[in-house]
Chain A
Amino acid sequence: MQFKVSKAWLAIVAAVVLLPVFVRHAIATEIWIFAIFGLGLNLLMGYAGLLSFGQATFFGSAAYVAGYLLKYFGVNVFLALGVGIVVGAVSAAAVGYLCVQRSGLYFIMLTFALNQMFYFTAYQWTTVTGGEDGMPGIPRPSLLGFDIHRPLAYYSAVAVLFLLSLWVMKRIVESPLGKILQAIRENELRAEALGYNVPRMKLAAFVVGGAFSGLAGVLYAMLFGIVPLESIGFVFSGNVVFATLIGGSGSLYGPVIGSFVFIWLSESVSSMWARWPLLLGVAFVIVVLFFRGGVVEAWARFWVWRAVRRAPDGVQADASR
């Protein structure tokens, strides 16, 4: 077991090192940022069985707050990231507190509706957020004296943070909390009967997931130098759900491979056709209708069991499908 896990890590580190050789640096960076975002969602969706359709709330809020501090107060990178994580966690705590009151369909609808609330707040609060135009001019201050303006330098910083996030998430899902969340997913009544405070555990999952989303949000803002309004919109929430699902939710590495495929595909298609969300929609439908039992599950299994051995090549071969 120990051996297998270390192999997975080897594969991921290899992917992190090799990716910028093959893919444009900005896209490579975005892939790992999105993967951090997906890790947060996966804790909720894959492990706790809570299908949150509002992850962009935490992503966007953190991006806006940290972006504002970076832009107008020139705070340093660590403070910005820290603030982002805190904002993500706090907004997730607020949203989560309301959402865990309900379950099933209501839960999904609530996460979505609250996402809309944040979206419209950002949309209308133009003096701070820039409304539809987004919040441009986010600086990328130097990190410990290193200049991270060059794409590759920033990529490295993000990649390190991604590996760190993955390690933390691994620790979390293997911790008692992670096990309890899985127990809740499998049988909520039973978990409650065993004496666990189910709503509180769900809330904890929200907070942790929100913190990851927040981190991803700040990195995203610094990558593009702008906080676009879409970053808090529900389409963004849907994208991360999709990415996590195609990668295989409930597996630690699922969102990683999912975001790789998703970002890589959408970036290559979006440069070709302005109406690419149409293709995205078609892709959603096709995957859901025809490849649900097939590719997704097989892929997840493939990833868990086999891809561990030959990640970089395996990942790219699969992505081209």
Chain B
Amino acid sequence: MLYALMGIGLSIITGVLNIPNFAHGALFALGAYFLYTAIQLIGNFWLALLLAPLGVGLLGVLIEYGGIRLLYKAGHDYQLLLTFGLSLIVTESIIIVWSPVGMSQLPPPILRGGVDLGITFYPKYRLFVMVSAALLVLGAWLFLEKTRYGAIMRAGIEDKEMVALLGIDIHRLFTAAFALGCVLAGIAGALTAPIRGLNPWMGVDMLGIAFVVVALAGLGNLLGSIAAGLLVGLAQSLVALVWPEASVAVIFAVMAAVLLVRPQGLFGIR
């Protein structure tokens, strides 16, 4: 489900803005670190969980405003370098501000321990993450499908010029889409922190996974992102049971296999 969350965020950014966002993984890591610091400062997990993604979203607005906006007309190569440079900056800043050593973050007291599900014993926090990620995905889906802003965003993925011609400020749309994608990455990062701990490079493998999800789903295809996110997560956990070392490589193998059979992706139209 976290993969789906990352995938949707990236899908919105890549779909609407038509840029390869290589900073997505770094923003994910930043979400986790913001959560950590917010908890240190205010001591409330829930408030921190709310603030951390918003902080990432705010940064996203700045990035879009100060950098990406200037590059819509430039080629993908420059956009790629910009976001790649940003990801280096964010990662190195994390190392400087926090530390290069990994840290751990405990889940809030209510969510410690496990639940007896009858067949198996499952950690409460993971259950919480699963449920909340599912709710967020649902929320994102409802937002994009049922609200006016969501409709504009989807229209932006389909045909930017037409949207602009209808009198909608396309630049605000871009900023909003980028910020929304960043918020989703931030939430995913914040939720992950208590499960896997924090380290400055935690975003790197997440970035690869998010790309796989998008490539499998097709840009802007939200239901596809959810399905692909689940598929990737499932493949990874199943392999982790039998051959833990290969669990990351398997994700990419799944992608390669799918692309061999269906070059347009599982749900891709283009």
Contact = CB atoms under 8 A, between A and B. Distances in A.
Interface of A: 45, 51, 53, 98, 101-102, 104-106, 108-110, 112-114, 116-117, 120-121, 124-125, 234-235, 238, 241-242, 245, 249, 275, 277-278, 280-285, 287-289, 292
B20 interface: yes
A112 B25 CA distance: 13
A112 B211 contact: yes
Interface string B97-125: 00000000000000000000000000000
Contacts of B71: 288-289
A98 B256 CA distance: 7
Looking at chain A's contact residues, is the secondary structure mostly helix, strand, loop, or mixed? helix
Given A113-B208, A280-B88, A285-B85, 11 more contacts: A45-B77, A51-B76, A105-B18, A106-B219, A109-B211, A113-B215, A116-B208, A117-B208, A275-B92, A282-B85, A285-B89
Q: Which of B19, B22, B86, B208 has most chain A Cβ within 10 Å?
A: B208
Given A114-B252, A241-B80, A285-B67, A106 B215 contact: yes
Given A241-B81, A289-B82, A278 B88 contact: yes
B84 interface: yes
Q: Which of B14, B89, B260 has most chain A Cβ within 10 Å?
A: B89
B249 A281 contact: no
Given A104-B76, A105-B20, A278-B93, A113 B255 contact: yes
Nearest to A246: B81
Contacts of A104: 76
A124 B247 CA distance: 10
A280 B87 CA distance: 11
B81 A242 contact: yes
Given A113-B211, A287-B81, A289-B67, A120 B91 contact: no
B214 A109 contact: yes
Contacts of A278: 88-89, 92-93, 96
Contact of B215 (A109, A125, A238): A109
Contact of B259 (A101, A116, A117, A124): A101
A245 B259 CA distance: 29
Looking at chain B's contact residues, is the secondary structure mostly helix, strand, loop, or mixed? helix
Interface in B239-270: 245-246, 248-249, 251-253, 255-256, 259-260, 263-265
Nearest to A101: B263
B259 to A, nearest CB: 5
B42 interface: no
Contacts of B86: 281, 285
20 contacts: A51-B77, A98-B259, A102-B263, A105-B20, A110-B211, A110-B259, A112-B208, A113-B208, A114-B252, A116-B205, A116-B208, A116-B248, A124-B248, A124-B249, A238-B81, A275-B92, A281-B84, A284-B85, A289-B82, A292-B74
B67 A105 contact: no
A104 B76 CA distance: 8
Contacts of A287: 81
